[in-house]
Amino acid sequence: MNPPATGWSLTIPIRLWTMLADHLFSDGDEHGAVILAGYTDGPRGTRLLARDVILAADGTDFVDGTTGYRALDATFVRDQALRARDEKLAYLAVHNHSDILQPGAVAFSTIDIASHERGYPALRQITGQIVGGLVLTPRAAAGDLWLPDGTRAVLAETVVPGNNIIRLRPRPAPTPGTAPRWDRQALLFGTAGQQTFARMRVAVVGLGGAGSIITELLARLGVGELVLIDGDRVEVTNLPRLLAAEPDDVGELKVDVAARNARRANSAIQITAIAERVEHPDARDALTTCDWIFLAADSHSARHWVNLTVHRYLIPASQVGVKIPVGPDGEIGEIHAAARLLLPAEGCLWCNGLIDSTQLAIDMHSAADRRNAQYVPDVPAASVIALNALPTAEAVNHFMLAAVRLHDDPTDSASVLHHPRGRDRALQDSRQDPDCPWCTRAGGLARGAGDVAEGAARLVGVPRVQAQDGL
């Protein structure tokens, strides 16, 4: 297990990684591909974001080399380089090595490096973008990046955000030590697993009943940095549901109360508190620099912006919600508590009917404008702390096991639905529209575009999908 590394990284969605791995590691021979990637700043350095993987067909696109064993065909390279130029994407040539002699480690051969030095200066000039090479084994990855300013950089790690987060590095990381306070957790996670949490930056959007529980759990888990986003203040009716909230907290910002409680739980934790709605530019920018996002706000605008960040910046997220239907006569309906996993380039909140375009348009107005237009009904929803604990614990447990690769099934991305009145727990697979502009390559808002698509996320053209259950 490798904790997150500092430096340049490449993130590949699990769907693209599976396709690439099946191609490269199918028969023990050497194969090739090209990755076209967006880019953005990350919590530990610049992140390359795999927007597309183009497999090189053996014998036509990946051929016998003149100085090495095999190489990408010149026509294939030209076509992908021109596409990288036109779409302003990084170009990465990919091939695989065997890991028999060095399990868990990989490096470019001298022939590989010589080919980079012959070809990459010209390729960089053609594209005007980052160009480089990536060599992979099933358990390791190394990269040689040639930057537009004429400098070079190495790739510190390749990240695959799936049901288990895979982190591939050129060689295994040294085994770190851990503070005595984490000893009982390290019995499960190992010292490397505990260090993984310490190096992660995690966002919590919405610091109400659910968000306050998530914040407390993450702090006590040992997460190194939290980004807390909520523009609301504590009201007296919030006190039964906000962990460690006191009567004197009424009127205080929820982010400040949550930050205080997180520091009580873990004095070493770093906090970025943003007292704004998630659509505020400061909040949106902060989300793009995180390793994971917890969405505990129930507005459609919060769902939209987090959903966009997940897929454009390839950051996994968890969405939690509780619905307690109480009729006008006091009759209680079926209670739902949902913990949804949002994986980059998989089915999104739009595809699954969980964002309503009309409600989204309303949410984008200020609270005062919505009240003046009578968009805000004065009907408070039922909420209970113990019910909030169901999906929040589910979501944090999922994050915890994914971060240290302890899930039994690395491909399972189902959401969890609790029906506490019937004591039922069900799994629900996500749906994906093949033409979705948010979680596929269809359109300029698509997966892995990163900062290349900055400014493209307009509400114009938002799909008119109706929400199903409001969770």
Listed in order, strand segments (DSSP E) in 15-138 are 32-41, 46-56, 62-64, 70-72, 90-96, 131-137
For residue 329, what pLDDT band results from cuts at 50, 70 and 90? confident
Retrieve residue 410's tokens: 């690395």
pLDDT for 160 equals: 97
Average of pLDDT values for 87-113? Answer: 92
pLDDT interval class at 424 (50, 70, 90): very high
pLDDT category, 365, cuts 50, 70, 90?
A: low
The pTM for the full model equals: 0.92
pLDDT tier for residue 458 given thresholds of 50, 70 and 90: very low
Reported confidence tier of residue 268, pLDDT bands at 50, 70, 90: very high
**What is the pLDDT averaged over residues 419-432?**
92
Please report the sign of the dihedral spanned by the C-alpha atoms of residue 442, residue 444, residue 446, residue 452: positive
Q: What's the confidence (pLDDT) of residue 455?
A: 42
Cβ atoms of residues 106 and 137 within 8 Å: yes
- How many Å separate Cα 396 from the centre of its chain? 14
Selected residue with higher pLDDT from 402 and 456: 402
Work out the average pLDDT over 38-52.
94
Segment 116-173, tens digit of pLDDT: 999 999 999 999 999 999 999 999 999 999 999 999 999 999 999 999 999 999 998 8
Q: Sign (positive/negative) of CA torsion 282, 259, 204, 461? A: negative
Looking at every residue in the chain, the average pLDDT score rounds to 90
Q: What is the mean pLDDT of residues 210-237?
A: 97
Q: Is pLDDT larger for residue 263 or for residue 98?
A: 263
Q: Looking at residue 102, what DSSP letter applies?
A: S
pLDDT of residue 467: 36
pLDDT at 334: 92
Domains and CATH numbers, the chain: 8-168 (3.40.140), 180-453 (3.40.50.720)
CA–CA separation, 122 and 241 (whole Å): 60
pLDDT reported for residue 465: 34
